[in-house]
């Protein structure tokens, strides 16, 4: 990792696998971004780069790196796999790059309540890190464990696929009303079919959408 690579990353702008932070303030918030990368396709967090891609660096890179590593160790469960790079841009200014790999074990949580071991899972969608829904967490877990999904093509599945043949997408609430069953049952159908790659999930900030997989 060198300044030329950092400059190219900064020029790309924020996206699915790139996030900028001007400072290392609020380490727990930076951990959120790294957890989102770990739960999705991996990515690079550049500390010392402004939102517009301006490379400003941080003055106390060693201290910031130490604090962020401590926060990662404290808040991430299961642990994430990452590497750090310190790239000089001036005599006393550096950019810190946290290169996060996709986790094998998913979902990864940011732990906030240490007594109860309770946390929040995040995923990366475009240039945002969003809280993963219950369905998304189950899908991540199922895929990471290589769970083999078998299901019967019942009326619940037929109604869903018939709906998706004439509509681009459906959300959980609509599907629950469509099949007139409890939301938990509707949720499990959507999760199973997503893990089986019959449908795909498209998370948004307010809800998840599900579409048919085009063959």
Phi first, then psi, for residue 204 (nearest 5°) are: -130, 175
The domain made up of 135-212 has a fold known as Arc Repressor Mutant, subunit A (1.10.10)
pLDDT at 152: 78
In the DSSP assignment, the letter for residue 104 is: S
Whether the pTM exceeds 0.85: the reply is: yes
Dihedral, CA of residue 81, residue 109, residue 94 and residue 83, to nearest 10: 0
Homologous superfamily assigned to 3-131: Schlafen, AAA domain (3.30.950.30)
User: Average pLDDT in the 180-186 region?
Assistant: 95
Closest C-alpha to 63, from 33, 38, 27, 34: 27
Q: Which residues pair with 109 in a beta bridge?
A: 77, 121
In the DSSP assignment, the letter for residue 199 is: E
pLDDT at 32: 96
Phi first, then psi, for residue 28 (nearest 5°) are: -65, -30
Strands 93-100 and 128-131: unpaired
Spell out the domain ranges in the chain.
3-131, 135-212
pLDDT at 176: 97
Closest C-alpha to 34, from 90, 91, 82, 92: 82
Phi first, then psi, for residue 159 (nearest 5°) are: -65, -40
pLDDT tens, position by position, 104-148 = 999 999 998 888 778 999 999 999 999 999 999 999 999 998 777
């Amino acid at each position: 990792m060198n300044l030329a690579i950092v400059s190219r990353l900064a020029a790309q702008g924020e996206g699915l696998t790139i996030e900028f932070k001007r400072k290392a303030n609020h380490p727990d918030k930076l951990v959120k971004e790294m957890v989102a990368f770990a739960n999705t396709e991996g990515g690079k967090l550049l500390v010392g780069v402004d939102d517009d891609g301006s490379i400003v660096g941080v003055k106390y890179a060693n201290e910031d790196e130490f604090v962020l590593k401590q926060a990662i160790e404290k808040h991430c469960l299961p642990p994430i796999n990452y590497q750090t790079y310190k790239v000089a841009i001036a005599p006393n200014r550096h950019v810190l790059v946290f290169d996060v790999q996709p986790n094998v074990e998913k979902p990864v949580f940011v732990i906030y309540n240490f007594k109860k071991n309770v946390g929040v899972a995040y995923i990366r969608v475009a240039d945002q890190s969003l809280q993963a829904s219950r369905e998304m967490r189950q899908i991540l877990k199922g895929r990471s464990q290589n769970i083999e999904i078998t299901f019967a093509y019942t009326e619940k599945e037929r109604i869903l696929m018939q709906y998706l043949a004439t509509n681009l997408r459906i959300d959980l609430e609509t599907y629950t009303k469509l099949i007139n069953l409890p939301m938990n049952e509707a949720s499990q159908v959507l999760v199973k079919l997503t893990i089986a790659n019959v449908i795909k999930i498209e998370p948004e900030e307010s809800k998840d959408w599900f579409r048919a997989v085009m063959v």
